[in-house]
Amino acid sequence: MKNLHALLLSALIATPALAASQGADVAKIEKGTYAADQTHTAVSARVDHMGFSKTTLRFAKASGEFTFDPAQIEAAKLDVSVDSASLSTDNEARDKELRGAGFFNVASFPTAHYVSGSLVRVDATHARVNGKLTLLGVTRDVPMEITLIGVGTGFANDKRVGVIGHMQFKRSDFGMKTFLPVVGDEVTIDIDAEFSKKNG
């Protein structure tokens, strides 16, 4: 029994050591297509409220994938979709209004979609994606700043990549003009995401 306990303890200690990021080295990203792990992906938006504070919206449901080849970094492709109805500001009445026709109009436009065009490497861990955002049925050019956080192996022995994405745009460019300028026009989006390499 003591030997069994020792083996179990050894396994519990060893597993996290093997399953972890090995640092933010782009050269360690294996060629292939990676899917977002929805349990470790968070999307948030911030907008000014009357010059007093920033209101934060969190989106519980987001999906996406990217295709990457370390030999051709500039050819990387990114595709992300966010379920607009999954938004929350921790205020039920406000959330209902934000889902309505004056803002995200989720009944007619249930998702926001971002797809990359070109990628420009800035330095060892930063890149700029020149992509297109589709919101409320309108598509505009919106760049995204990408920071590589980590590359390594997950608990399921899957190859993983962690990144942070950051973008800014004017909501009025997509036809969302309710309460301007009392509620700010500029929207800041932050994405924290883990991607797992797909098999095959």
- If you average pLDDT over residues 131-144, what whole number do you get? 98
The pLDDT of residue 180 is 98
Buried b / exposed e over 141-154, threshold 16 CB at 10 Å, is: ebbbebebbbbbeb
- Provide, rounded to the nearest whole percent, the portion of the chain with pLDDT above 70: 90
pLDDT at residue 200, rounded to an integer = 64
pLDDT of residue 10: 44
Condensed to tens digits (0 to 9), the pLDDT of residues 122-137 reads: 999 999 999 999 999 9
* Res 22: pLDDT: 85
Residues 191/41, Cβ–Cβ less than 8 Å: yes
Q: Give 94-113 pLDDT, tens digit per residue.
A: 999 999 999 999 999 999 99
In the chain, the percentage of residues whose pLDDT exceeds 90 is: 86
Residue 21's pLDDT is: 85
Q: How far is CA 26 from the centre of its chain?
A: 18
| pLDDT of the residue at 18 | 55
Q: Looking at domain 21-197, which CATH architecture does it have?
A: Beta Barrel (2.40)
6 — pLDDT class (breaks 50, 70, 90): very low
- CA 105, distance to chain mean position in Å, is 21
CA distances from 147 to 6, 62, 129, 163, 167 (A): 40, 19, 11, 6, 12
pLDDT (0 to 100) of residue 11? 43
Asked if residue 66 lies in contact with residue 81, where contact means CB atoms within 8 angstroms, the answer is no
Q: What is the pLDDT of residues 39-64, one digit of tens each?
A: 999 999 999 999 999 999 999 999 99
**How many angstroms separate the CA atoms of 188 and 56, rounded?**
10
The pair of structure tokens assigned to 22 is 């090995």
Encode pLDDT of 61-90 as tens digits.
999 999 999 899 999 999 999 999 999 999
Give the confidence band of 19 by pLDDT, cuts at 50, 70, 90: low
Question: Quick check: 189 pLDDT over 70?
Answer: yes
Joined together, the tokens standing for residue 82 give: 């966010």
Residue 20: predicted pLDDT = 80
Identify whether 181 is preceded by a cis peptide bond (ω within 30 of 0): yes
> What does the mean pLDDT of the chain come to?
91
- Domain borders along the chain are 21-197
